[in-house]
Structure 1
Amino acid sequence: MTTNRNRCKQPRRRTTTVVTALLGAALLGFTATPMPVSANEATLPLGDSDLVETRSSETLAQGVTLTRIVRGTEPAPIDQIGDTPRGPWVVNVLTIDPTQSKGHLAATYGPDLAGVEKTTDLVREADALVGVNASFFTFTASAEYPGDPVGLGIYGGRLLSEPTGDAAEADLVLDAKNHKVLMGQLRWTGSVRNAQTKISLPLEYINHPPVVPDPCTDLPDPTQCADSGDTVRFTPEFAASTPSGPGVEVVLDSKGCVVRTTTTRGTTLAQDQTSLQATGREAADLLAVAQGCVKHSSSLQDEAGKKIPLRPGTFAVNGRYRLVKDGQIVAPSGSDSFFDRHPRTIAGTTLDGKIVLVTIDGRQTTSVGTTMTETASVAAALGMHDAVNLDGGGSTTMSVEGSLVNQPSGNEERPVGDALVYIDRTFDDR
């Protein structure tokens, strides 16, 4: 995605109103003027029913509202964060009404896909009004490529990371031009085919370092490896250079014709080039197919098998687990720590088409976080008809005009792989 880092921004006019369910939240450093709760507004289904809940709403732009909810007034004992019914909880809710707003929602990443950058920086660089962290990403599993999305990633109509096929993956697809949102588990297939021989080879990944089978590491000729390997397509957006190591790499020009072939991996791609890497026994298969010119095929489908069109206004990020589907809570329960109380980031839509982005602070005495079940209940209580759980934990961040809105759980804001940002102007697909 192209961003303008030097664009001057006009100050935005904001309007603040406050609604409180009960009095006070001063111990959390949050003050608000008490006002009666409207008859149709319910408190969050978190903890004991007698907890103090305070809400403060701020209009960031036409059709864009930020609401801060604080439930509970007493800081939690540090040894009770994981199970206390007294909270407290701090929840930030961004609501975008496409029928009133002038802007659009998009997904963006830093200088390259494989790197990481803070959400606050991503918001500034996109000249966005507000943003939240988005996809699950490689993080500490790869020191060299920490920002590599673990699942679907589409930016400005370019499919730069494929869905994993994991049953837990729940993807969020945006149509920035028409303000439409799709959620679900997407499926992808890809292949390359020789233009003359018609021989084809399936692709395992897009912009993801291929797996090198152990027996291949000691062979002088990686094409002789008998074990299986991967075939991966790389684009210039991935990193300054493609992953290096044993295997083969074929660089293609914009027409799919071979520019160069090497029997080791790792190269720098020009903006109009792509490459194919293969390891294990697939290295020999790639060498046989990638001669002359090849045609790349890619198909992305939704849960119903309908093809997802990739237009300039298409953006997508990956999450883990649907929280709400067609108005019903569908979040699973689990026994591992992922399902325990953590900071959470949620994306969802209401029945009347509003888009909602939420952060729930956690792992702190001032906000304990939510389990997966509690997260789904919050999404439903906030009126979401459909919702997905985005990356959370130390990644959970909301930023307005490059300034932090929430309190990340670590000592400082964590760099992330990508972010969802609201840009307060009409999407231009030219």
Structure 2
Amino acid sequence: MTTTSYRAGLSRAAAATAATLALLAAPSAQAADAEPGLPLGDADLAETRTSQSLADGVTLTRIVRGTEPAPADEINTTTRGPWVVNVLTIDPRKARGHLDTTYGPDLARTEKTTDLVRTTGALVGVNASFFTFTANTQYPGDPVGLGLYGGKLLSEPTSDPAEVNFVVDSRSDRVVMGKLSWSGSARNRATGASLPLEFLNHPPVVPAGCATLPDQTACTRPGDVVRFTPEFAASTPSGAGVEVVLDRRGCVVRTSATRGTALTAGQTSLQATGREAAALVRVAAGGCLHTTSVLVDEKGDRVPVHQHLHGVNGRYRLTAGGQVVVPDGTGSFFARNPRTVGGTTEDGEIVLATIDGRMTGSVGTTLDETAAVAQALGLHDAVNLDGGGSTAMSVRGELVNKPSGTTERFVGDALVYRD
């Protein structure tokens, strides 16, 4: 599996799209009587559930709770709904495919979830990580937190206590959730001189007052040290600072007094700004570097990274051990929004769900309500993935849910199930 390949369009996916949509348009008998209602709004709300088998061990269920559109000025407060929830359930004991991640042509760009599903030939997928998103940045798809794709750690988990990670082994479809930590370093093999790394594939910040210095190694203010890989973009971020390019053995290919270069296959680079620029030049002088990149879990145990390991970032654990664990909070993030949820049941089924929101046809959920939905769906452990305008679920490259904006948002990465 190569997550960075971005094929133009697969005949297999195109041929299956019409059949899939027809299947979704003609759902099986309603199953509302077989399941308890979602804990949303008033107890007397009507709720319907329709389910379809998309493949062996893969089921899509659409839940609609409430029947009347919400008044536009009551979306954030109504107890009458409605709510529209799409739930994808993958049973690894029966499913023949596997869950993994994809981010498109390169890490720094954004793509629609539908395109990520279609071009990877996946059966179904949902948006995943929180990402930079800012419209005025050159690298909007850069993950804000963990980005682990087919054993390649391309973005480190942050120290933000709200970040929680969703990690899956695509061989077994075993999922673990929790807070990961990262550390990295570069050490000269000959001299032993070393330098800690601060980030992976994130544009470094140039300290105020240092951008115009003729000699960047003269800056005395704290800066950043970042490792870049070819997966980041067509070229590394340009600007003030220094950059050292390494070959696949870690040996120095060139050292530049400014940042910004194209990396070929097998090459990596280290960029430094501020006073770390001088430190990088010193560490890299005349030698080969050994770089380390270590993930550890909440217990402090090292996480072995292999080619089948994938991971994305979320914000806040929803359930842990079957119990709701969301913190108290205020503000827009905790208010009603569209939501994307990833989780597992106690017997190992994987569940990916979207909750439409910010519209009269589906009002969305608060973080507390999202956790209650996750628990009601039987999620023993669950994470709140990126939501809002990013929330999207796609089957064979076609939208299943209704995004809150006027069009589907471009996102940083996706969790996809390939059959």
Into which bin does the TM-score normalised by the smaller protein fall?
over 0.9
In the alignment, does 2:250 pair up with 1:256?
yes
Please list every run of 5 or more consecutive structure 1 residues that lacks an aligned counterpart in the other structure: 22-36, 425-430
Q: 1:148 aligns with which of 125, 142, 149?
A: 142
Question: What SS does the aligned partner of 1:247 have?
Answer: strand
Residue in 2 that maps onto 1:25: none
Q: Is the 8 A contact 2:4 2:106 kept in 1?
A: no
Equivalent residue in structure 1 for 2:88, among 83, 94, 103: 94
Give a deviation string over 1:25-74, Cα, whole Å, max 9, x none.
Answer: xxxxxxxxxxxx12xx2100000000010111010000000000000011
Regions of 4+ moved over 6 Å? none
Q: CA deviation at 1:6?
A: 4.5
Specify the alignment match of 1:344 in structure 2.
339
Matched residue, 2:369: 374
Cα shift at 1:20: 4.8
| Contact 1:5/1:126 (8 A) holds in 2 | no
Offset at residue 7 of structure 1 (A): 3.8
Query: Which residue matches 2:177?
Result: 183
1:180-219 deviation digits (Å, cap 9, x = unpaired):
1110110000000001110110000000001111021232
Q: Contact 1:323–1:375 at 8 Å: present in 2 too?
A: yes
Q: Per the alignment, in what secondary structure is the counterpart of residue 183 of structure 2?
A: strand
- Whole-Å separation in 1 of the counterparts to 2:304 and 2:229: 19
Cα pair 1:55 1:67 within 8 Å, conserved: yes
Q: Which of 214, 221, 228 is 1:220 aligned to?
A: 214
Cα 1:142–1:317 change in 2 (3 A) is: farther
Residue matched to 2:349: 354
Contact 1:333 1:372 in 2 (8 A): no
| Structure 1 stretch displaced more, 75-84 or 304-313 | 304-313
SS at match of 2:125: strand
Q: Is the 8 A contact 1:76 1:366 kept in 2?
A: yes
Supply the RMSD in Å over aligned alpha carbons.
1.2
Amino acid at match of 2:125: G
Pair 1:8 & 2:11 matched: yes
2:314 corresponds to which of 312, 315, 319? 319
Q: How does 1:114-153 map to 2 (within 5 A)?
A: 114-140=108-134, 142-153=136-147
Measured in 1, the distance between the counterparts of 2:277 and 2:308 equals 36
C-alpha separation in 2, matches of 1:66 and 1:143: 36
CA contact (8 A) 1:20 1:53 kept: no
Whether the 8 Å CA contact 2:75–2:360 is kept in 1: the answer is: yes
Which residue in the other structure is 2:165 paired with?
171
> Which whole-Å deviations, capped at 9, do the CAs of 1:301-341 have from their partners, x for residues lacking one?
11111211111110000000000001110011211210000
Distance 1:402 1:58 in 2: 17
The farther-off stretch of 210-219 and 255-264 is: 210-219
Rounded to whole Å, the distance in 2 between the matches of 1:223 and 1:336 is 43
Structure 2 match to 1:244 = 238
Return the offset for 1:107: 0.6
**Residue deviations 1:378-423, cap 9 Å, x none?**
0000000000000000000000000000000000000000000000
Q: Which whole-Å deviations, capped at 9, do the CAs of 1:260-286 have from their partners, x for residues lacking one?
A: 110100000001100000000000000
Counterpart of 1:418 (choices 390, 393, 413) is 413
SS at match of 1:44: coil
Structure 2, unaligned stretches of length 5 or more?
none
Give CA deviations for 1:343-397 in whole Å, capped at 9, x if unaligned.
Answer: 0000000001000000000000000000000000000000000000000000000
Which of residues 329, 333, 352 in structure 2 aligns to 1:334?
329
Change (3 A) 1:420 1:82: same
Q: Secondary structure at the match of 2:282?
A: helix
Give yes or no for contact 2:4–2:104 (8 Å, CA) kept in 1.
Answer: no
Q: What SS is found at the alignment partner of 1:150?
A: coil
Q: Is the 8 A contact 2:242 2:272 kept in 1?
A: yes
User: Is 1:279 the counterpart of 2:273 in the alignment?
Assistant: yes
Residue pair 1:62, 1:101 contacting (<8 A) in 2 also: yes
Partner residue, 1:232: 226
Aligned-partner SS, 2:153: strand
Letter in 1 for 2:11: C
The residue type equivalent to 1:294 in the other structure is: L
Cα deviation digits, residues 212-253 of structure 1 (max 9, x gap): 110212322111111000000000000111001100000000
Q: Secondary structure at the match of 2:118?
A: helix
Deviation at 1:2, TM superposition (A): 4.3
Q: Does 1:19 align with 2:23?
A: no
Q: Check conservation: 2:51, 2:60, Cα contact below 8 A.
A: yes
- Name the CA distance, whole Å, in 2 between partners of 1:332 and 1:50: 28
Equivalents in 2 of 1:20, 1:157: separation in Å?
A: 40
Asked if 1 retains the 8 angstrom alpha-carbon contact of 2:151 and 2:308, the reply is: yes
Q: Report the equivalent of 2:38.
A: 44
The one-letter amino acid of 2:338's match is P
Given the alignment, which residue of 288, 295, 298 partners 1:293?
288
- Give the length in aligned residue pairs: 407
Letter in 1 for 2:197: L
Aligned partner of 1:60 in structure 2 is: 54
